[in-house]
Homo-oligomer: A and B are copies of this chain.
Amino acid sequence: MLSSRETASHPIVVPPHGLGAPRRLQEPRLSRAASSMGSSRLREIMALASRPGVLSFAIGLPAEELFPRAALAEAMAGVLAAGPRALQYALPLQGLKEQIVGLMALRGVRCRPEQVFITSGAQQAMDLLAHLLLDPGAQVLLEETTYDGIRIAVRRFEPRVLTVSTHPESGIDVEAVASLLAGGARPAFLYLIPEGHNPLGVSLPLEARERLAELARSHRLPLLEDDTYGFLAPGGALPALRAFEEDWVYYIGSFAKTLAPSLRAGWMVVPEALVPRLSMLKHAADVDTASLSHHAIAAFLAAGRLPGHLDGLRREYGRRCNAMLDALQAHMPPGVRWNRPDGGLFLWVELPRTVDATALLRHAVEAEAVAFAPGEAFAATDAVAPVQQHCLRLSFASCPPERIDEGIARLSRALAGFASAG
């Protein structure tokens, strides 16, 4: 595999198997973007955490046993039995857009089907918006600690990444955003996760949402609102940012956590004027045709099955979150702190400042067969901030409550062992 930009630009001459002329590596000249790309930090951790026998809180997998499998199978069978149309090329499904308009009302958002743009998951929404808004070298504004997917979506544009901090209890530092903008920063957008933050678990207070919407309007700053976890808050979520500002908040939704990831379905709610260009960008990316999954999801939603399913998800994820909070309370030593999330699938844990979370992960997997995601996996830039180094993310989603206590006990032992070894 190629490992540096130099390798790509200047073919390496390697010795031949026997005698004779040297043989050049049979590799093409790669684009700058492709040859400078690092990998996804989350992917590497996934490999470590997915060793057989490891009890893992590392990855944000939704709980498989909660997938509405029978209902999806029924929807899929119905769609295929109805005729061949669902297998053919088709425009993005109007019926699905209309169902999504109904969903958005659950998030306090009024919109029209013409503002809904269907994607192959939230990641594709980020990618299309990055292509829509970013020139090479552009400024983007990210939360210092954020979802890995946005870093990966933007890095091909080699952007100047500006960051603001996000507090695990009060959310993104809105006044820091205001100062940056007042100081002349002109980011192409601010990407953030106001609800059930990944990895911080925090939901943004109402006043901060209003203030952000106002900043977006006055500075003409697009806010990319990732609402992947917006439908999961056990106690109900605040209205989405998009409810406070229509022109400058581009909403990103996903069916990955509410239905199932492999359906590869998400959506955006954007100003209607942007839809034709997003459509052309999606055409370039993967033809912008309705997928069989979109048909099945539309049938599932039209059957009115989502509200009951969401109730079940909220109840169960709430139960698992509480089980993890109880277990942390029971097992963790003094000096370890965590927040109480209002939604999402994650808890953010602060270790004593002397503990490096990535080093602890290696030890925890080896010594106690338990895994988590170290904070550095969520650094918005290549530089890992101190606030990430001694922190970690725990997912409470994919582990039944009775296993959660066992896992946290292991983690506590790992920490004790690590501290005494260190």
Q: Could you tell me which A residues sit within 8 Å of B by CB distance?
A: 1-2, 11, 24, 26-35, 37, 39-40, 43, 59, 61-62, 64-65, 67, 69, 72-73, 76-77, 80-81, 84-90, 120-121, 123-124, 127, 131-136, 138, 149, 152-153, 155-156, 188-189, 220, 222, 247-248, 256, 260-264, 271, 273-274, 276-277, 280-281, 283-287, 289-293, 295
Contact = CB atoms under 8 A, between A and B. Distances in A.
A65 B149 CA distance: 40
A276 B280 CA distance: 27
B262 A290 contact: yes
Nearest to A89: B261
B295 A88 contact: no
Given A29-B133, A131-B33, A124 B61 contact: no
Contacts of A59: 89
Contact of A88 (B30, B86, B262, B291): B262
The 10 closest A-B pairs by CB, nearest first: A26-B247, A87-B260, A64-B84, A73-B80, A262-B292, A123-B287, A124-B286, A89-B261, A152-B284, A264-B291
A395 to B, nearest CB: 12
Contact of A292 (B11, B84, B263): B263
Copies of this protein chain in the complex: 2
20 contacts: A1-B273, A24-B220, A28-B189, A28-B248, A31-B138, A39-B280, A61-B88, A67-B88, A73-B80, A87-B260, A87-B262, A87-B263, A89-B261, A121-B287, A123-B286, A131-B156, A156-B284, A260-B292, A264-B292, A286-B286
B277 A291 contact: no
A43 B283 contact: yes
A130 to B, nearest CB: 8
Nearest to A43: B283
A23 to B, nearest CB: 11
A37 B280 contact: yes
B271 A26 contact: yes
A295 B73 CA distance: 14
Contact of A28 (B90, B133, B292): B133
A284 B147 CA distance: 12
A286 B77 contact: no
B84 A28 contact: no
Contacts of A295: 262
